[in-house]
Amino acid sequence: MDTTATMISIPSHVAIVMDGNGRWAEERGWTRTEGHRAGLENIRKIVKFFSKNGVKYLTLFAFSTENWDRPNEEVKILIELLEQAVREETKPLHDDGVRIRHIGRLDRLPVNLRDSILDSVALTSANQGINLNIAYDYGSRTEIVDAVKRIVVEGLSSDQITEDLFSTKLYTNGIPDPDFVIRTAGEMRLSNFLMWQCAYAEFYTTKCWWPDFDEDEASKALDEFSNRKRRYGKLDSI
């Protein structure tokens, strides 16, 4: 009998690297902007799916610290699309009981976008439904460096620093670590996403582009997770 490995049917926290918007559009002869727009439109459906299936936390990697290095016009469009999405989607998500949280830096975002994000976080702060964490201008290395800076500023001694304490200095303080990481578009890397938090997460990749990642694809991912054994570095008991 296996006593150390745990069979789990539904992950509590799912994190998704939403990849492939641009390539999805180019495959169809469309602009990359159309791909990003389709990717944003897919978010509400996926949030509803995971909420319906008992997932408590959903973290979406929307814009990385490295994405600033893309062509200026594409960055401008991405920011405009996100601001539009925040304005249009916050009310429906709020009505569905979704709690929205931003993880990442806010200081580099345009004022209008920053204010929209803060408004959506405030509006939904008391909601009891699925927790939707949007990683925007997020990078795990930057997050870890910022955590170290907080510790230095607080003057903590080396004896006071533990893994649990360090976790409280991260952007994700108060959010449980992901159980399951999904990456679309077939890539096999984390890309500077939640590297501390994903130490023991199960990883799943699909060749499906993010705009095509529908309920059927999400169901396949959950089915795969249900067949995993999470050992946390331990061995199965005999």
Active-site annotation holder among 67, 177, 192, 212: 67
Task: Let me know if 19 is a catalytic residue.
Answer: yes
Amino acid at 55: V
- 6: tokens are 């745990």
Instruction: Give the contacts of 173 (CB within 8 A, at least 6 positions apart).
Output: 167
**Two tokens at 166?**
């360090």
CA angle 50, 37, 61 (to 5 degrees): 50
Strands, DSSP E only, in 148-199?
180-183
Taking Cα atoms as reference points, which of 60, 67, 26, 24 lies closest to residue 45? 60
- Tell the residue number behind the tokens 């925040």, with chain if given: 86
Greatest Cα pair distance, the chain, in angstroms, is 58
Give the SS3 label for residue 34: helix
- Among 19, 42, 133, 137, the active-site one is 19
d(Cα 58, Cα 178) in Å, to the nearest integer?
Answer: 9
Give the E-state strand segments of the chain in sequence order. Answer: 6-7, 13-17, 57-64, 99-103, 131-138, 180-183, 202-205, 229-230
Quick check: is 95 catalytic? no
Give residue for tokens 């907080």: 150
Residues with a known catalytic role: 19, 67
